[in-house]
Structure 1
C-alpha cells in the first residue's frame, strides 16, 4: 500500500490528463506538462518519466505500469491495457476516470470491501474479461490471503453463481441467519442484507444499492459512442501508436532495434 500523498497525486494526474485530452497536445506532451505539477516528494514523477519513454517507443504506457508493480497495481495496468487495445471496448478517457476515482477513494481511506466492489463493477460495467480481471485484482496488496482465495473462487464460479449469492454467503448477515461458516467472513451485516435482497437480479442493481446505502464509490459510465471529442481522441491515439510502430519497423530495417531503452533504469526502480 502507498502513502496517502501518492494516491492524491495519482488521482490528480489521471484527472488532469483526462481533462486535457482535447487541447491538441500528444499524450507524451501532456504527461510532461503535468509532471511539473506533481509533488516531487512522491514517486509519481519517476513513474511519469517511464511512461513518457514507453509512449515514445511503443505508443502506450500500460506495459510500463505493469513493470512498475511496486507503484501501480496489476488492476490499474489491466484497465489501461484494455483501453489501449485496438479492439478493446473501453475508451481511454473512461479508463483514466476509473483510475482517478479509485485513487481518490484510496486517498480517503478505502476499505477492502469497497475496493473489491469498485473493481468488480468496473469489470461488469465495461464488459472486461473476468478471468484476467480477477487475476489482476488478486495481485493488489489490499487483499490478504483470505480475500485472494475468495477472488480465485469468484473467478472460477462467476457465470455459474451470481455475485450477490457469493457475497451473501460470506457475510455477517448469513452467519446471523444460519450460524457460523468454515471460511472467513469477508462482508458485513449490511452488505449481506443488500446482497440477499438482490439475488437473481442484474449485478448492476446490487452495486447501485451498495453505493446508495453504504457510500461505496460508483464506477464512471462509458461515454456515448457518438461523443465527438472521445472519437477524435481515440483516433489520435491510434495514429500515435501507428507512428510509433512505423518507427520501429524503420529501425529494424536499418539494422535492428535497441532493446535497452525498454528497460527501467535501476535508479527509477528503487524509488
Structure 2
C-alpha cells in the first residue's frame, strides 16, 4: 500500500464555454498524516481542484486516487472515507444544531446510539452544548462555522476537504476550529485546506502548494517555500512573488 493517501496525475478541468483550463495538468502526491494547504489568488483553481477530489464535479481528463480508491470504480466507498466542509454553510437554518448533526450523521450510516454520543461530545468540544436545541438561523457566523465543521467530520473521515474554514469568524471561534482540526489530524485524518489567510496557513499546514491559473507554481513545507524566495520573511512574501501584485477580486 502506498504511503500517499492522495495521488493526483495530470488532472485537467475546463468548464463548458470557458477559454482556459481552471485546473491545468496538476500532479500531486499527499502523505497520510499531512495538513496540506492549497493556496492561490481568487480564480486560481483551488475550489475546482477540491470539488473534483471530493466528487462534486468530474475532471476533463487525468486521474486521482484517495486511499487507493478511484472515483470511477469505487465511488461509494470513496464518499464514505472523505469529509467535505464547504465555504458556504451546508446546514438547514430551520433545524436545530442537534437536528442538523443527526441528519448529516445518519447520511453517513452511523449507528443511532453512537451518533448521539458523538454529537454530544462534538458539541461540547466546540462550545455549542448549550445551544444544541437552538435553530441554526439564530447562530452567529462563528457558531455556524463550528457547527458546519462538525457536520462534515462526524464520521471521522480519513481525508477532510476544507474550503476557507475560518472565513469571517472571530479570534475565539478561529482558535476553536484550528484546535479541533489539529486534534482530528493527530487522530489520523489527512486535511486538505484552502484559505486566503496566509499567516494562518503558515502556522497550520505541514505542506503547501501555491497554485495560479490552474497550475502548481511551488510546493513544499512553509519553511522551504520561504527559503526559496530571496528576501522572503513569510508566506505572504512568497505568495506575492509567485502570483504577482495584480488585483484579483475584479469582476
What TM-score does the superposition give when structure 2 sets the normalisation length?
0.32
- Point out the structure with the larger strand share: 2
- Point out the structure with the larger helix share: 1
